[in-house]
Amino acid sequence: MITEEQWNKMLLTLVPVVTGITSIALGLLALTRSSPLGRRAYHLDGQYLVSVRYPGQLNDIREFVQPHNPDVIAVYSQVRPDPWALYDFVCRNIDYRRDWGEFWQTPSETLRGYGDCEDSSNLLTSLLRNFTNAYTV
48-78 per-residue burial string, b: 16 or more CB within 10 A, e: under 16 = ebbbbbeeeebbebeebbbbebebbeebbee
Pairing state between β 114-115 and 95-96? parallel
Same domain, 17 and 70: no
CA distances from 52 to 20, 102, 123 (A): 33, 6, 16
Range of the domain at 69: 62-128
pLDDT tens sequence across 2-48: 888 888 888 788 777 778 788 877 776 655 554 444 567 888 888 88
Is 26 contained in some domain?
A: yes
Is 54 contained in some domain?
A: no
pLDDT tens sequence across 99-128: 877 889 999 999 999 999 999 999 999 999
Q: What is the pLDDT of residue 28?
A: 67
* pTM of the predicted model as reported, rounded to 2 decimal places: 0.68
Contact assessment for residue 132 and residue 65, using Cβ atoms and an 8 Å cutoff: no
